[in-house]
Amino acid sequence: MAHTSTAANTVEFGPATGLSCRECGALYDLGPIFACTECFGPLEVAYDFGEVRREDIESGPANIWRYRSLLPVPAGVAAKPNLQPGWTKLVKADRLAAELGLRSLHVKDDSGNPTHSFKDRVVAIALEAARNFGFHTLSCSSTGNLAGAVSAAAARAGLDSCVFIPADLEPAKVTMAAVYGGRLVAIDGNYDEVNRFCSELIGDELGEKWGFVNVNLRPFYAEGSKTLAYEIAEQLGWRLPDQIVIPVASGSQLTKIDKGFRELIKLGLVEERPYRIFGAQAEGCSPVSQAFKAGQDVVQPVRPDTIAKSLAIGNPADGPYVLDIARRTGGAVEDVNDQEVVEAIRLLARTEGVFAETAGGVTVGVLRKLVREGRLDPDAETVVLNTGDGLKTLDAVAEHARPAAVIRPSLDAFRAAFAN
């Protein structure tokens, strides 16, 4: 029996039919709720898709709204003021593949989104939910990229914003989150402490009519990551990759990419075939990787200590589901240290001209490690995700990116500097 919501009959969510508990299966009407009242499990969006055709998708706009028939959004979403993220490049990475010993490699480069990270995708879906529920303020707890995405999306939509971040974030991310004119609040604590504060604010009158994209709007927000799966499959010619490496912070992105692949199979949009999903974490915040290696089902929280701050979530909400997916698909969850992250950022930049932020260094670093250890098939078609722009994390590589020489403006000075 479904739990009812006063908002359920007054909003439009396209093919979405309700919310379902991922643990006990309890059903709920569509509403700004994120946890099951029966077992406290997480809720996710359920659908009745009907017929979905490739040609209808291909005729859509060059952004995530080409997949509106697969998302919890109204039919006219593309015409509303939003950042229109998505349809980012799938880079055929032949030079990186040759360096690593892979036959076929693509980089899904989400640094091309409006605020230069994949977070624009998830925020775009959450924004539509916020509009539907009559919220006037868009908010979030963030490790950096999400704060910028929320602030920009709210500015574009004409909503207020108030975003919360740990006080020690990279300066570029702080600046980007603040420039859009909303309120930016830094909290003396790590991300998990910021997130707990936001959960308390939701229950207070100060947070009334606020849409916290990754808390009370989380079931809708999380669906935005499915568009990465849809785009990768379409850009590969409507087929699934053999294996994919995905960064793990909360774990939501990985779980939703898997959900997107399974939806495409179920709808007959791609051929059913095995695929392997690999999760990537930084060693200084690797609770899911540690659980995977230990053969455990429980993810023990850790205190983050890594340069990959966008992945620094010590108590990942979707960690157990990441473990399930990695094991079910024959993949793995692995981690790399900060030095390996920096080396991978430089490797991707040198071989493919893609400047990744530290999260991208984690995924490429883990990819390299998996190949070296023989746990990833070098002959299989592989995709690795870069989820953000390296301009946001310049400090990570600053000491390795200096002028080759400082010379006077003359040929003689140039010859003298580079004679050898």
**pLDDT tens per residue, range 355-413:** 999 999 999 999 999 999 999 999 999 999 999 999 999 999 998 888 889 999 999 99
For residues 212 and 223, membership in a common domain is answered with no
pLDDT (0 to 100) of residue 219: 97
For residues 50 and 24, membership in a common domain is answered with yes
Range of the domain at 41: 16-71
DSSP string, 39-70: T-PBEEEEE------HHHHHTS-SSGGGGGGG
pLDDT (0 to 100) of residue 401: 84
Query: Considering the domain boundaries, does residue 405 fall inside one?
Result: no
**Global confidence as pTM:** 0.94
For residues 97 and 243, membership in a common domain is answered with yes
pLDDT (0 to 100) of residue 199: 86
CATH number at residue 195: 3.40.50.1100
Query: Considering the domain boundaries, does residue 7 fall inside one?
Result: no
Q: Does residue 8 register a pLDDT over 60?
A: no
Q: What is the mean pLDDT of residues 56-64?
A: 98
pLDDT (0 to 100) of residue 4: 57
Strands of the sheet with 89-92, listed across from one edge: 89-92, 104-109, 381-386, 243-247, 276-282, 332-336
For residues 193 and 332, membership in a common domain is answered with no
For residues 25 and 43, membership in a common domain is answered with yes
Residue corresponding to tokens 């997916």: 325
Q: Does residue 166 register a pLDDT over 50?
A: yes
Asked if 389 and 117 count as a contact pair (C-beta separation under 8 A), the reply is yes
Q: What is the mean pLDDT of residues 98-115?
A: 98
For residues 232 and 321, membership in a common domain is answered with yes
Query: Considering the domain boundaries, does residue 420 fall inside one?
Result: no
Three-class DSSP category at 121: helix
Please, which residues have CB within 8 angstroms of residue 116's CB and are 6 or more apart in sequence? 388, 389, 391, 392
Query: Considering the domain boundaries, does residue 163 fall inside one?
Result: yes
Q: What is the mean pLDDT of residues 36-59?
A: 96
Please, which residues have CB within 8 angstroms of residue 40's CB and are 6 or more apart in sequence? none
**pLDDT tens per residue, range 175-200:** 999 999 999 999 999 988 998 999 88
Provide the domain count of the chain.
3
Domain end (from 217, 234, 260): 217
For residues 61 and 198, membership in a common domain is answered with no
Q: What is the mean pLDDT of residues 208-232?
A: 96
| Percent of residues, the chain, with pLDDT higher than 70 | 97
| d(C-alpha 126, C-alpha 381), whole Å | 32
Task: List the structure tokens of 241.
Answer: 């990759």
Query: Considering the domain boundaries, does residue 181 fall inside one?
Result: yes
Among 411, 45, 365, 395, residue whose Cα is nearest residue 219: 45
pLDDT (0 to 100) of residue 9: 46
Domain end (from 188, 217, 246): 217
For residues 151 and 108, membership in a common domain is answered with no
Query: Considering the domain boundaries, does residue 185 fall inside one?
Result: yes
Query: Considering the domain boundaries, does residue 61 fall inside one?
Result: yes
Query: Considering the domain boundaries, does residue 388 fall inside one?
Result: yes
Domain end (from 193, 217, 241): 217
pLDDT (0 to 100) of residue 2: 60
- The whole-chain average pLDDT of the chain stands at 95
